Amino acid sequence: KNQVEQSPQSLIILEGKNCTLQCNYTVSPFSNLRWYKQDTGRGPVSLTIMTFSENTKSNGRYTATLDADTKQSSLHITASQLSDSASYICVVGTNFGNEKLTFGTGTRLTIIP
C-alpha cells in the first residue's frame, strides 16, 4: 500500500531559528515528490516539486532534499518567520498510467516570537 509518513506531527520553534521536516514514503512506482504549505483555512500552496533525478531544490528560504534510494525527503526552513506558521504536506506522485498522488498528514509548524 502506498503511504507517506511525516515527522514530527507538530513542531514549535522560535522566530529566526532553522528547522527540518521529514518525509518517508513507500510509494511505487515513484514519479515525483512535492512539498506544499497550507495556511490555516487556506488551500495548499506548492513549494517544490522534485523528480527522481533531482536531490535538492530550493525556493527562497525553503530547501527540499530527496534520497530516492532510501525513499526519504526533508524540507529545511532557514531563518524562520512568523508567516512560516502553517502545515507542511509531503506528497508523492506515481506515474503508472494516470498519475496518482499520495498525501502525508502534514507537520504542523508554529513559529513563536
Please report, as ranges, the residues that interact with another protein according to CB under 8 A: 4, 31-32, 34, 41-46, 49, 89, 91, 93, 95, 98-101, 103-106
- Minimum CB separation of residue 41 from another protein in Å reads 7
Q: Exposed, middle or buried: residue 22 (CB in 10 Å: 0-12, 13-18, 19+)?
A: middle
The angle at the Cα of 39, spanning 36 to 40, to the nearest 5 degrees, equals 135
Length of the chain: 113
Contact between residue 33 and residue 50 where contact means Cβ atoms under 8 Å apart: yes
- Minimum CB separation of residue 31 from another protein in Å reads 7
Q: Which is nearer to another protein, 65 or 104 (CB)?
A: 104
Contact between residue 86 and residue 107 where contact means Cβ atoms under 8 Å apart: no
Q: Which is nearer to another protein, 44 or 63 (CB)?
A: 44
Q: Which is nearer to another protein, 20 or 105 (CB)?
A: 105
3-state class of 82 per DSSP?
helix
Q: Which is nearer to another protein, 23 or 111 (CB)?
A: 23
- Minimum CB separation of residue 84 from another protein in Å reads 18
